[in-house]
């Protein structure tokens, strides 16, 4: 018999989907369609503990919760830049062997939680890519991520593309006709 009315959690951990199903939850949606990884931590057998019990639950779990937050600082992160050094918005960050890609921010920033191991990573935007870069995550418990900036060569971000295109369309015919 377990601590929670017959439930038994070997090592104190269970896969939530095996414990109870939440249909239509935001966790799966956010993981699949954004860069957000949400989780639920059950700190008590009681779904709705009394407010007077909360300080005790915090004290019992503080060290584990802080360690978990520190793990979230690890993995790999960096900035994806174009050939002029500008951050690339909306580039896909591809980790070889992992189906789920993450997307860079407006400033080109990306971050990816990864377990200990050796990986290859690249950035892809509009058919252009950075090429593969190898790196190693030495410890999942490290608070220090691998910093790996990626450059997509022959790619120019944002409004520069529009202005160059307009320059070619408007100015080039003028120059050809007047030179």
pLDDT at 96: 97
76 neighbors 145 (Cβ within 8 angstroms) = yes
133 three-class SS: strand
Q: How many alpha carbons lie under 13 Å from residue 84 in its C-beta half-sphere?
A: 9
pLDDT at 110: 95
Q: Rounded distance, CA 113 to CA 173, Å? A: 50
Q: Rounded distance, CA 133 to CA 161, Å? A: 26
pLDDT in tens, the chain (179 residues): 455 666 666 776 777 777 777 777 788 787 777 777 777 777 777 778 899 999 999 999 999 888 888 888 888 999 999 999 999 999 999 999 999 999 999 999 999 989 889 999 999 999 999 999 999 998 877 778 899 999 998 887 764 443 333 344 444 444 445 44
pLDDT at 167: 40
CA max distance for the chain: 91
Q: Rounded distance, CA 170 to CA 165, Å? A: 9
pLDDT at 7: 64
Of 7, 29, 6, 4, the residue nearest 18 (C-alpha): 7
148 neighbors 76 (Cβ within 8 angstroms) = yes
The tokens for 162 are: 């529009």
Report CA dihedral (75, 64, 19, 99) to the nearest 10 degrees.
Answer: 0
Q: Kindly report the backbone phi and psi dihedral angles of residue 174, in degrees, each rounded to the nearest multiple of 5, phi listed first.
A: -60, -45
pLDDT at 164: 38
pLDDT at 6: 63
Q: Rounded distance, CA 177 to CA 179, Å? A: 6
Active-site residue, from 42, 63, 70, 109: 42
pLDDT at 3: 56
Of 86, 100, 155, the residue nearest 127 (C-alpha): 155
- Model's pTM, two decimal places? 0.69
| 42 carries an active-site annotation | yes
């Amino acid at each position: 018999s377990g601590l929670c009315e017959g439930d038994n959690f070997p090592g104190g951990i269970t896969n939530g989907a095996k414990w109870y199903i939440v249909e239509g939850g935001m966790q799966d949606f956010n993981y699949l369609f954004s860069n957000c990884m949400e989780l639920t931590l059950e700190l008590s057998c009681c779904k709705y503990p009394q407010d007077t019990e909360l300080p005790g639950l915090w004290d019992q779990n503080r060290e584990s919760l802080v360690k978990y937050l520190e793990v979230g600082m690890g993995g790999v992160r960096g900035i994806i830049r174009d050939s002029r050094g500008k951050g690339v918005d909306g580039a896909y960050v591809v980790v070889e062997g992992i189906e789920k890609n993450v997307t860079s921010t407006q400033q080109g920033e990306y971050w990816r939680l990864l377990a200990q191991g050796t990986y290859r990573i690249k950035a892809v935007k509009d058919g252009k890519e950075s090429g593969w870069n190898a790196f190693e995550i030495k410890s999942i418990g490290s608070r220090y991520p691998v910093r790996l900036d990626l450059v997509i060569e022959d790619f120019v971000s944002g409004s520069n593309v529009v202005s160059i295109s307009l320059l070619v369309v408007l100015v080039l015919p003028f120059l050809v006709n007047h030179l």
